[in-house]
Structure 1
Amino acid sequence: MGDIIDLGHGVRAAVTERKGGVSRPPFDSLNLGLGTGDTREAVTANRARAAEDLGFGVERVVWMNQVHSADVLVATEPGGVGTCDGVVTTRPDLVLASMAADCLPVLAADGEAGVLGAAHSGRLGTAHGVAVNLVDTMVAQGARRDRITVFLGPAICGRCYEVPPDLQAETAARTPEAASTTRQGSTGVDMTAAVTAQLGRAGVGDVLADGRCTLESPELFSHRGDAPTGRFASFLWRE
Protein backbone atom coordinates (compact mmCIF):
# COMPACT_ATOMS: atom_id res chain seq x y z
CA MET A 1 0.00 0.00 0.00
CA GLY A 2 1.32 3.42 -0.87
CA ASP A 3 1.67 6.38 1.47
CA ILE A 4 -1.31 8.53 2.46
CA ILE A 5 -0.93 12.04 1.03
CA ASP A 6 -2.29 15.10 2.86
CA LEU A 7 -3.97 17.53 0.45
CA GLY A 8 -5.06 19.94 3.21
CA HIS A 9 -8.35 20.65 4.99
CA GLY A 10 -8.61 17.00 6.04
CA VAL A 11 -8.45 15.67 2.47
CA ARG A 12 -6.36 12.53 1.91
CA ALA A 13 -5.19 10.67 -1.18
CA ALA A 14 -3.53 7.30 -1.63
CA VAL A 15 -2.49 4.91 -4.41
CA THR A 16 -2.67 1.16 -3.91
CA GLU A 17 0.03 -1.18 -5.24
CA ARG A 18 0.18 -4.76 -6.51
CA LYS A 19 0.85 -6.72 -3.34
CA GLY A 20 -1.23 -7.53 -0.30
CA GLY A 21 -4.31 -9.13 -1.85
CA VAL A 22 -5.77 -12.52 -2.65
CA SER A 23 -5.87 -12.56 -6.47
CA ARG A 24 -4.00 -15.30 -8.28
CA PRO A 25 -1.62 -14.71 -11.22
CA PRO A 26 -1.69 -12.88 -13.56
CA PHE A 27 -3.74 -10.53 -11.34
CA ASP A 28 -1.51 -11.02 -8.32
CA SER A 29 -2.39 -9.88 -5.89
CA LEU A 30 -4.23 -6.68 -4.85
CA ASN A 31 -6.26 -6.33 -8.04
CA LEU A 32 -9.12 -3.85 -7.48
CA GLY A 33 -10.53 -3.94 -11.02
CA LEU A 34 -13.66 -5.81 -12.04
CA GLY A 35 -13.79 -6.66 -15.74
CA THR A 36 -10.12 -7.68 -15.83
CA GLY A 37 -10.83 -11.42 -15.98
CA ASP A 38 -10.19 -11.88 -12.27
CA THR A 39 -12.90 -13.38 -10.07
CA ARG A 40 -15.47 -11.07 -8.50
CA GLU A 41 -14.85 -12.74 -5.13
CA ALA A 42 -11.14 -11.91 -5.20
CA VAL A 43 -11.69 -8.30 -6.32
CA THR A 44 -14.36 -7.75 -3.68
CA ALA A 45 -12.06 -9.11 -0.97
CA ASN A 46 -9.19 -6.96 -2.23
CA ARG A 47 -11.32 -3.81 -2.24
CA ALA A 48 -12.37 -4.41 1.36
CA ARG A 49 -8.77 -5.07 2.39
CA ALA A 50 -7.44 -1.93 0.66
CA ALA A 51 -10.11 0.26 2.24
CA GLU A 52 -9.47 -1.17 5.70
CA ASP A 53 -5.71 -0.60 5.33
CA LEU A 54 -6.36 3.06 4.44
CA GLY A 55 -8.74 3.58 7.34
CA PHE A 56 -12.17 3.80 5.74
CA GLY A 57 -15.02 1.38 5.08
CA VAL A 58 -15.35 -0.02 1.58
CA GLU A 59 -19.07 0.76 1.78
CA ARG A 60 -18.15 4.48 1.50
CA VAL A 61 -16.44 4.14 -1.91
CA VAL A 62 -17.81 5.50 -5.21
CA TRP A 63 -16.75 3.40 -8.22
CA MET A 64 -16.91 4.49 -11.87
CA ASN A 65 -17.60 2.26 -14.86
CA GLN A 66 -14.66 3.73 -16.79
CA VAL A 67 -14.86 3.75 -20.60
CA HIS A 68 -12.18 6.27 -21.74
CA SER A 69 -14.72 9.08 -22.10
CA ALA A 70 -14.62 12.72 -20.95
CA ASP A 71 -17.93 12.41 -19.08
CA VAL A 72 -18.20 13.51 -15.44
CA LEU A 73 -21.03 12.60 -13.05
CA VAL A 74 -21.94 13.90 -9.58
CA ALA A 75 -22.15 11.22 -6.88
CA THR A 76 -24.67 11.55 -4.07
CA GLU A 77 -24.47 7.92 -2.90
CA PRO A 78 -21.72 5.31 -2.51
CA GLY A 79 -21.39 2.35 -4.87
CA GLY A 80 -21.45 2.44 -8.66
CA VAL A 81 -22.05 5.96 -9.95
CA GLY A 82 -22.52 4.86 -13.57
CA THR A 83 -20.59 5.00 -16.82
CA CYS A 84 -18.16 7.93 -16.74
CA ASP A 85 -14.49 8.79 -16.35
CA GLY A 86 -14.86 11.56 -13.81
CA VAL A 87 -16.86 11.86 -10.60
CA VAL A 88 -17.47 14.77 -8.21
CA THR A 89 -19.06 14.81 -4.76
CA THR A 90 -19.85 17.25 -1.98
CA ARG A 91 -20.80 14.51 0.50
CA PRO A 92 -18.15 14.45 3.24
CA ASP A 93 -18.46 10.71 3.88
CA LEU A 94 -17.87 9.47 0.32
CA VAL A 95 -14.54 8.11 -0.96
CA LEU A 96 -13.78 8.54 -4.67
CA ALA A 97 -11.83 5.91 -6.64
CA SER A 98 -10.06 6.05 -9.99
CA MET A 99 -8.81 2.75 -11.41
CA ALA A 100 -5.74 2.47 -13.65
CA ALA A 101 -2.95 0.29 -14.99
CA ASP A 102 -1.14 2.86 -17.23
CA CYS A 103 -3.78 5.61 -17.59
CA LEU A 104 -3.48 8.75 -15.45
CA PRO A 105 -5.49 9.02 -12.21
CA VAL A 106 -6.54 12.61 -11.40
CA LEU A 107 -7.59 13.45 -7.82
CA ALA A 108 -8.78 17.01 -7.14
CA ALA A 109 -10.03 18.79 -4.03
CA ASP A 110 -11.22 22.15 -2.82
CA GLY A 111 -11.08 21.14 0.82
CA GLU A 112 -12.38 24.49 2.02
CA ALA A 113 -15.57 24.14 -0.05
CA GLY A 114 -15.78 20.39 0.59
CA VAL A 115 -15.81 19.47 -3.10
CA LEU A 116 -13.84 16.41 -4.25
CA GLY A 117 -13.29 15.04 -7.75
CA ALA A 118 -11.59 12.01 -9.29
CA ALA A 119 -10.96 11.17 -12.94
CA HIS A 120 -9.40 8.51 -15.14
CA SER A 121 -7.50 10.26 -17.94
CA GLY A 122 -6.33 7.73 -20.51
CA ARG A 123 -5.13 8.72 -23.94
CA LEU A 124 -8.66 9.39 -25.24
CA GLY A 125 -9.78 11.06 -22.02
CA THR A 126 -6.70 13.25 -22.13
CA ALA A 127 -7.35 14.16 -25.77
CA HIS A 128 -10.93 15.15 -24.92
CA GLY A 129 -10.16 16.99 -21.68
CA VAL A 130 -11.72 14.88 -18.94
CA ALA A 131 -9.59 16.63 -16.29
CA VAL A 132 -10.89 20.04 -17.39
CA ASN A 133 -14.46 18.71 -17.34
CA LEU A 134 -13.78 17.46 -13.81
CA VAL A 135 -12.68 20.94 -12.69
CA ASP A 136 -15.66 22.60 -14.39
CA THR A 137 -18.04 20.20 -12.62
CA MET A 138 -16.34 20.87 -9.28
CA VAL A 139 -16.77 24.62 -9.80
CA ALA A 140 -20.45 24.08 -10.59
CA GLN A 141 -20.72 22.29 -7.23
CA GLY A 142 -19.17 25.20 -5.32
CA ALA A 143 -15.39 24.82 -5.69
CA ARG A 144 -13.08 27.69 -6.63
CA ARG A 145 -10.40 27.12 -9.25
CA ASP A 146 -7.74 28.97 -7.27
CA ARG A 147 -8.37 26.73 -4.24
CA ILE A 148 -8.31 23.38 -6.03
CA THR A 149 -5.34 21.10 -5.36
CA VAL A 150 -4.74 18.21 -7.78
CA PHE A 151 -2.79 15.02 -7.22
CA LEU A 152 -1.82 13.10 -10.36
CA GLY A 153 -1.26 9.42 -9.72
CA PRO A 154 1.24 7.11 -11.44
CA ALA A 155 0.89 6.59 -15.21
CA ILE A 156 2.95 5.31 -18.10
CA CYS A 157 5.48 8.04 -18.89
CA GLY A 158 6.04 9.84 -22.16
CA ARG A 159 9.37 8.07 -22.68
CA CYS A 160 7.63 4.66 -22.52
CA TYR A 161 4.21 5.34 -24.06
CA GLU A 162 4.82 4.73 -27.76
CA VAL A 163 1.88 5.39 -30.11
CA PRO A 164 1.60 5.72 -33.91
CA PRO A 165 2.05 9.26 -35.29
CA ASP A 166 -1.68 9.66 -36.04
CA LEU A 167 -2.65 8.86 -32.44
CA GLN A 168 -0.02 11.24 -31.12
CA ALA A 169 -1.40 13.98 -33.40
CA GLU A 170 -4.96 13.26 -32.29
CA THR A 171 -3.99 13.47 -28.60
CA ALA A 172 -1.90 16.63 -29.04
CA ALA A 173 -4.39 18.46 -31.28
CA ARG A 174 -5.77 20.53 -28.41
CA THR A 175 -2.88 19.97 -25.99
CA PRO A 176 0.55 20.18 -27.67
CA GLU A 177 2.21 19.17 -24.39
CA ALA A 178 0.85 15.65 -24.95
CA ALA A 179 3.40 14.94 -27.69
CA SER A 180 6.55 13.17 -26.52
CA THR A 181 9.50 11.28 -27.91
CA THR A 182 10.13 7.79 -26.54
CA ARG A 183 13.49 6.35 -25.58
CA GLN A 184 13.55 4.66 -28.99
CA GLY A 185 13.11 8.04 -30.69
CA SER A 186 9.55 7.22 -31.80
CA THR A 187 6.30 9.16 -31.34
CA GLY A 188 4.78 9.02 -27.88
CA VAL A 189 2.22 10.55 -25.54
CA ASP A 190 2.90 12.12 -22.14
CA MET A 191 -0.43 12.16 -20.29
CA THR A 192 0.99 13.71 -17.12
CA ALA A 193 2.48 16.66 -19.00
CA ALA A 194 -0.71 17.09 -21.02
CA VAL A 195 -3.08 17.08 -18.05
CA THR A 196 -0.80 19.39 -16.05
CA ALA A 197 -0.95 21.86 -18.95
CA GLN A 198 -4.71 21.47 -19.29
CA LEU A 199 -5.22 22.14 -15.59
CA GLY A 200 -3.01 25.22 -15.71
CA ARG A 201 -5.03 26.67 -18.56
CA ALA A 202 -8.21 25.85 -16.61
CA GLY A 203 -6.98 27.98 -13.70
CA VAL A 204 -5.62 25.21 -11.47
CA GLY A 205 -1.96 25.74 -10.63
CA ASP A 206 -1.54 23.61 -7.50
CA VAL A 207 -0.70 20.26 -9.11
CA LEU A 208 1.25 17.49 -7.39
CA ALA A 209 2.37 14.33 -9.18
CA ASP A 210 3.28 10.84 -7.98
CA GLY A 211 5.87 10.72 -10.75
CA ARG A 212 6.18 6.96 -11.09
CA CYS A 213 5.91 5.31 -14.49
CA THR A 214 3.65 2.27 -14.30
CA LEU A 215 5.63 0.40 -16.94
CA GLU A 216 8.90 0.97 -15.07
CA SER A 217 7.59 0.37 -11.53
CA PRO A 218 7.17 -3.33 -10.70
CA GLU A 219 5.04 -2.53 -7.63
CA LEU A 220 2.30 -1.15 -9.92
CA PHE A 221 0.04 -2.84 -12.46
CA SER A 222 0.81 -2.01 -16.12
CA HIS A 223 -1.52 -3.06 -18.92
CA ARG A 224 1.12 -2.39 -21.54
CA GLY A 225 3.75 -4.32 -19.63
CA ASP A 226 1.78 -7.26 -18.28
CA ALA A 227 -1.66 -7.64 -19.91
CA PRO A 228 -3.75 -9.39 -18.80
CA THR A 229 -3.20 -7.78 -15.41
CA GLY A 230 -4.97 -6.13 -12.49
CA ARG A 231 -5.80 -2.52 -11.66
CA PHE A 232 -4.63 -0.31 -8.82
CA ALA A 233 -6.83 2.41 -7.35
CA SER A 234 -6.17 6.04 -6.50
CA PHE A 235 -8.48 7.00 -3.63
CA LEU A 236 -9.58 10.45 -2.44
CA TRP A 237 -11.47 11.08 0.80
CA ARG A 238 -12.04 13.41 3.74
CA GLU A 239 -11.07 12.44 7.27
Structure 2
Amino acid sequence: MFWWQTQAGDGLTVAFTSTAAGNLALHVGDDPALVLRRRRALETHMGVPAGSLRFMNQVHSAAVASVSGPSPAGPSSAGPGAAPAAGPFTADLLTADALVSPDGSVPLAVMVADCVPVVLTGRNGAGVVTGVAHAGRRGLLDGILANTVQEMAAAGAESLRAWIGPSVCGECYEVPAAMQREATEVMPELRSTTRWGTPALDLPAGARTQLEALGVDVVRLPGCTLESTDLYSHRRSSSAGRFAGLIWRN
Protein backbone atom coordinates (compact mmCIF):
# COMPACT_ATOMS: atom_id res chain seq x y z
CA MET A 1 0.00 0.00 0.00
CA PHE A 2 2.88 2.36 0.78
CA TRP A 3 5.41 3.16 -1.93
CA TRP A 4 7.69 4.62 0.76
CA GLN A 5 7.48 5.46 4.44
CA THR A 6 9.67 6.59 7.32
CA GLN A 7 9.46 7.43 10.99
CA ALA A 8 9.97 11.20 11.16
CA GLY A 9 10.53 11.50 14.90
CA ASP A 10 8.20 13.03 17.48
CA GLY A 11 5.82 10.10 16.94
CA LEU A 12 5.20 11.06 13.29
CA THR A 13 5.14 8.92 10.17
CA VAL A 14 5.62 10.18 6.62
CA ALA A 15 4.50 8.00 3.72
CA PHE A 16 3.54 7.99 0.06
CA THR A 17 1.02 5.49 -1.27
CA SER A 18 1.39 3.40 -4.41
CA THR A 19 -1.18 2.19 -6.92
CA ALA A 20 -1.70 -0.76 -4.56
CA ALA A 21 -3.73 1.62 -2.36
CA GLY A 22 -5.92 2.43 -5.37
CA ASN A 23 -7.15 5.79 -6.56
CA LEU A 24 -7.80 8.12 -3.60
CA ALA A 25 -9.32 11.04 -5.51
CA LEU A 26 -13.01 11.88 -5.81
CA HIS A 27 -12.60 14.14 -8.84
CA VAL A 28 -11.33 11.75 -11.53
CA GLY A 29 -14.59 10.00 -12.44
CA ASP A 30 -14.17 7.05 -10.10
CA ASP A 31 -17.08 5.62 -8.09
CA PRO A 32 -17.18 7.78 -4.91
CA ALA A 33 -18.20 4.80 -2.77
CA LEU A 34 -15.13 2.86 -3.91
CA VAL A 35 -12.85 5.84 -3.30
CA LEU A 36 -14.19 6.26 0.23
CA ARG A 37 -13.74 2.55 0.86
CA ARG A 38 -10.09 2.87 -0.19
CA ARG A 39 -9.65 5.89 2.07
CA ARG A 40 -11.09 3.93 4.98
CA ALA A 41 -8.72 1.04 4.21
CA LEU A 42 -5.82 3.50 4.12
CA GLU A 43 -6.83 4.97 7.49
CA THR A 44 -6.98 1.47 8.95
CA HIS A 45 -3.51 0.73 7.55
CA MET A 46 -2.23 4.00 9.03
CA GLY A 47 -3.86 3.25 12.39
CA VAL A 48 -5.84 6.51 12.53
CA PRO A 49 -9.57 6.93 13.27
CA ALA A 50 -12.00 6.50 10.38
CA GLY A 51 -12.77 9.82 8.73
CA SER A 52 -9.86 11.63 10.38
CA LEU A 53 -7.54 11.83 7.36
CA ARG A 54 -7.90 15.27 5.78
CA PHE A 55 -7.98 15.63 2.03
CA MET A 56 -8.55 18.84 0.06
CA ASN A 57 -9.97 20.06 -3.23
CA GLN A 58 -6.72 20.95 -5.01
CA VAL A 59 -6.94 23.64 -7.69
CA HIS A 60 -3.29 24.56 -8.44
CA SER A 61 -3.53 27.62 -6.19
CA ALA A 62 -1.18 29.07 -3.57
CA ALA A 63 -3.83 28.80 -0.84
CA VAL A 64 -2.99 27.18 2.51
CA ALA A 65 -5.59 26.05 5.05
CA SER A 66 -5.04 25.39 8.75
CA VAL A 67 -7.00 22.41 10.10
CA SER A 68 -7.66 21.10 13.59
CA GLY A 69 -10.01 18.67 15.26
CA PRO A 70 -12.13 15.98 13.61
CA SER A 71 -13.22 16.33 9.99
CA PRO A 72 -16.67 17.97 10.00
CA ALA A 73 -17.94 15.83 7.14
CA GLY A 74 -16.30 12.46 7.63
CA PRO A 75 -14.06 11.80 4.63
CA SER A 76 -14.77 15.20 3.13
CA SER A 77 -13.08 18.21 4.76
CA ALA A 78 -14.94 21.48 5.25
CA GLY A 79 -13.40 24.78 6.10
CA PRO A 80 -13.59 28.55 5.61
CA GLY A 81 -15.03 29.43 2.22
CA ALA A 82 -16.04 25.86 1.46
CA ALA A 83 -18.87 25.33 -0.98
CA PRO A 84 -21.84 23.11 -0.11
CA ALA A 85 -21.57 19.50 -1.14
CA ALA A 86 -23.51 18.27 -4.15
CA GLY A 87 -24.31 15.14 -2.21
CA PRO A 88 -23.07 13.14 0.79
CA PHE A 89 -19.33 12.55 0.66
CA THR A 90 -19.02 13.26 -3.08
CA ALA A 91 -16.43 16.02 -2.86
CA ASP A 92 -13.54 17.28 -0.79
CA LEU A 93 -14.99 20.56 0.41
CA LEU A 94 -11.89 22.34 1.63
CA THR A 95 -10.42 24.12 -1.41
CA ALA A 96 -6.68 24.66 -0.91
CA ASP A 97 -3.36 23.32 -2.14
CA ALA A 98 -1.71 22.94 1.25
CA LEU A 99 -2.84 21.94 4.72
CA VAL A 100 -1.22 22.72 8.05
CA SER A 101 -1.99 21.09 11.40
CA PRO A 102 -0.73 23.57 14.06
CA ASP A 103 -0.38 20.86 16.70
CA GLY A 104 0.34 17.91 14.41
CA SER A 105 -2.76 16.09 15.60
CA VAL A 106 -4.63 15.90 12.28
CA PRO A 107 -3.59 13.25 9.73
CA LEU A 108 -2.96 15.07 6.44
CA ALA A 109 -3.02 13.97 2.79
CA VAL A 110 -1.97 15.58 -0.49
CA MET A 111 -2.89 13.89 -3.78
CA VAL A 112 -0.83 13.93 -6.97
CA ALA A 113 -0.28 12.15 -10.27
CA ASP A 114 2.79 14.02 -11.66
CA CYS A 115 2.84 17.21 -9.55
CA VAL A 116 5.19 17.37 -6.58
CA PRO A 117 3.85 16.17 -3.20
CA VAL A 118 5.63 17.80 -0.27
CA VAL A 119 5.26 16.70 3.35
CA LEU A 120 6.61 18.93 6.12
CA THR A 121 7.16 18.93 9.86
CA GLY A 122 8.61 21.33 12.40
CA ARG A 123 8.80 21.78 16.15
CA ASN A 124 7.26 24.47 18.31
CA GLY A 125 7.19 25.01 22.05
CA ALA A 126 4.17 22.75 22.49
CA GLY A 127 5.27 19.90 20.21
CA VAL A 128 5.05 19.61 16.44
CA VAL A 129 3.51 21.35 13.45
CA THR A 130 2.81 19.35 10.28
CA GLY A 131 1.92 20.23 6.71
CA VAL A 132 1.40 18.92 3.19
CA ALA A 133 1.54 20.81 -0.10
CA HIS A 134 0.59 20.20 -3.73
CA ALA A 135 3.32 21.82 -5.82
CA GLY A 136 2.61 21.77 -9.53
CA ARG A 137 4.10 24.22 -12.02
CA ARG A 138 1.56 26.94 -11.28
CA GLY A 139 1.66 26.44 -7.54
CA LEU A 140 5.45 26.58 -7.42
CA LEU A 141 5.52 29.81 -9.42
CA ASP A 142 2.76 31.36 -7.30
CA GLY A 143 4.42 30.52 -3.97
CA ILE A 144 2.54 27.56 -2.50
CA LEU A 145 5.64 26.29 -0.67
CA ALA A 146 6.59 29.68 0.74
CA ASN A 147 3.00 30.15 1.92
CA THR A 148 3.01 26.74 3.59
CA VAL A 149 6.25 27.44 5.41
CA GLN A 150 4.88 30.84 6.46
CA GLU A 151 1.72 29.25 7.85
CA MET A 152 3.77 26.72 9.78
CA ALA A 153 6.05 29.47 11.11
CA ALA A 154 2.97 31.39 12.24
CA ALA A 155 2.15 28.32 14.36
CA GLY A 156 5.60 28.58 15.93
CA ALA A 157 7.33 25.92 13.83
CA GLU A 158 11.12 25.92 13.75
CA SER A 159 13.72 23.49 12.38
CA LEU A 160 11.46 22.56 9.48
CA ARG A 161 12.03 19.40 7.48
CA ALA A 162 10.44 18.43 4.18
CA TRP A 163 10.13 15.27 2.12
CA ILE A 164 9.69 15.79 -1.62
CA GLY A 165 7.82 12.78 -2.94
CA PRO A 166 7.80 11.21 -6.40
CA SER A 167 6.64 13.31 -9.35
CA VAL A 168 7.32 13.57 -13.05
CA CYS A 169 11.06 14.13 -13.39
CA GLY A 170 12.87 16.90 -15.21
CA GLU A 171 13.87 14.57 -18.04
CA CYS A 172 10.24 13.56 -18.70
CA TYR A 173 8.23 16.76 -18.09
CA GLU A 174 8.19 18.12 -21.62
CA VAL A 175 6.64 21.59 -22.07
CA PRO A 176 6.35 24.10 -24.92
CA ALA A 177 9.36 26.39 -25.26
CA ALA A 178 7.22 29.44 -24.42
CA MET A 179 6.05 27.82 -21.17
CA GLN A 180 9.62 26.97 -20.24
CA ARG A 181 10.71 30.57 -20.84
CA GLU A 182 7.85 31.95 -18.75
CA ALA A 183 8.59 29.59 -15.85
CA THR A 184 12.37 29.94 -15.86
CA GLU A 185 12.18 33.74 -15.89
CA VAL A 186 10.70 33.37 -12.41
CA MET A 187 12.59 30.23 -11.30
CA PRO A 188 15.74 29.55 -13.37
CA GLU A 189 16.35 26.28 -11.52
CA LEU A 190 13.30 24.78 -13.25
CA ARG A 191 15.09 24.69 -16.63
CA SER A 192 15.63 21.18 -17.94
CA THR A 193 15.78 19.16 -21.14
CA THR A 194 14.06 15.88 -21.88
CA ARG A 195 16.06 12.79 -22.72
CA TRP A 196 14.98 13.33 -26.32
CA GLY A 197 16.26 16.92 -26.37
CA THR A 198 13.13 19.09 -26.01
CA PRO A 199 12.33 21.85 -23.47
CA ALA A 200 11.33 20.60 -20.03
CA LEU A 201 10.81 21.70 -16.44
CA ASP A 202 12.29 20.08 -13.34
CA LEU A 203 9.62 20.65 -10.70
CA PRO A 204 11.32 18.66 -7.89
CA ALA A 205 14.50 20.71 -8.36
CA GLY A 206 12.45 23.90 -8.12
CA ALA A 207 10.71 22.69 -4.99
CA ARG A 208 14.00 21.76 -3.35
CA THR A 209 15.60 25.11 -4.18
CA GLN A 210 12.63 27.05 -2.84
CA LEU A 211 12.46 25.07 0.40
CA GLU A 212 16.19 25.25 1.07
CA ALA A 213 16.13 29.02 0.47
CA LEU A 214 13.46 29.16 3.19
CA GLY A 215 15.76 27.33 5.61
CA VAL A 216 14.03 23.95 5.35
CA ASP A 217 16.04 20.71 5.59
CA VAL A 218 14.99 18.71 2.51
CA VAL A 219 14.91 15.02 1.63
CA ARG A 220 14.16 14.44 -2.04
CA LEU A 221 12.94 10.93 -2.79
CA PRO A 222 13.78 9.23 -6.08
CA GLY A 223 11.11 8.11 -8.48
CA CYS A 224 9.42 9.46 -11.62
CA THR A 225 5.68 9.02 -11.88
CA LEU A 226 5.76 8.80 -15.68
CA GLU A 227 8.32 6.00 -15.57
CA SER A 228 7.02 4.08 -12.53
CA THR A 229 3.98 1.91 -13.09
CA ASP A 230 3.45 1.58 -9.33
CA LEU A 231 2.62 5.31 -9.20
CA TYR A 232 -0.17 7.19 -10.95
CA SER A 233 0.74 9.54 -13.80
CA HIS A 234 -1.69 11.83 -15.59
CA ARG A 235 0.82 12.19 -18.41
CA ARG A 236 0.93 8.44 -18.89
CA SER A 237 -2.88 8.18 -18.79
CA SER A 238 -5.42 11.03 -18.69
CA SER A 239 -7.74 8.76 -16.69
CA ALA A 240 -5.13 8.12 -13.99
CA GLY A 241 -6.07 8.08 -10.35
CA ARG A 242 -4.17 9.87 -7.60
CA PHE A 243 -1.74 8.61 -4.96
CA ALA A 244 -1.14 10.47 -1.71
CA GLY A 245 1.59 11.94 0.43
CA LEU A 246 0.77 11.51 4.10
CA ILE A 247 1.84 12.61 7.55
CA TRP A 248 0.27 11.49 10.81
CA ARG A 249 0.97 10.96 14.47
CA ASN A 250 1.27 7.34 15.56
Cα deviation, residue 111, structure 1: 4.1
> Counterparts of 2:30 and 2:212 in 1: how far apart (Å)?
38
Runs of 5+ in structure 2 lacking a partner?
A: 80-93
Is residue 188 from structure 1 mapped to residue 209 from structure 2 by the alignment? no
Structure 1 residue aligned with 2:13:
12
Separation in structure 2 between the aligned mates of residue 92 and residue 200 of structure 1, nearest angstrom: 22
2:118 corresponds in structure 1 to 106
* Aligned-partner SS, 1:83: coil
Select 1:224's aligned residue among 228, 232, 235. Answer: 235
**Secondary structure of the residue that 2:173 maps to in structure 1?**
coil
1:62 to 54, 71, 76: 54
TM-score, length basis structure 1:
0.91
Superposed, 1:201-220 pairs within 5 Å as 201-204=213-216, 206-220=217-231
Q: Distance in 1 between matches of 2:133 and 2:49?
A: 21
Is structure 2 residue 57 aligned with structure 1 residue 45? no
Equivalent residue number for residue 141 of structure 2: 127
Could you tell me how far apart the structure 1 residues matched to 2:97 and 2:198 are?
A: 29
Identity %: 38
Q: Return 5+ residue gaps in structure 1 as ranges.
A: 21-29
Quick one: distance in 1 between partners of 2:203 and 2:8?
22
In structure 2, distance between residues paired with 1:92 and 1:136: 16
- The answer to whether the 8 A contact 1:127-1:170 is kept is no
* Deviation larger for 193-202 or 55-64: 55-64
Spell out the pairing of 1:113-152 with structure 2 (5 A cutoff).
113-144=127-158, 147-152=159-164
Tell me the residue number matched to 2:169: 157
Shift of 1:175: 1.6
Task: Output the TM-score relative to the length of structure 2.
Answer: 0.87
Residues 126 and 171 in structure 1, CA contact (< 8 A), matched pair in contact too = no
| Amino acid corresponding to residue 71 of structure 1 in structure 2 | A
**Contact in 2 for aligned 1:70/1:85 (Cα 8 Å):** yes
Across the aligned residues of Structure 1 and Structure 2, the Cα RMSD in angstroms comes to: 1.4
1: CA distance, partners of 2:247 / 2:189: 26
Instruction: Name whichever of 228-237 and 50-59 sits farther off.
Output: 50-59
Confirm or deny: 8 A CA contact 2:64 2:96 kept in the other structure: yes
Report Cα offsets for 1:187-216 as digits up to 9, x if no partner: 111110001000111111x11122110001
Distance, in Å, in 2 between the alignment partners of 1:127 and 1:102 is: 16
CA distance in 2, matches of 1:47, 1:97: 10
User: Taking structure 1 as reference, are residues 104 and 42 closer, same or farther at Cα in structure 2, changes over 3 Å only?
Assistant: same
- The number of equivalent residue pairs is 227
> How far 1:90 sits from its partner (Å)?
1.8
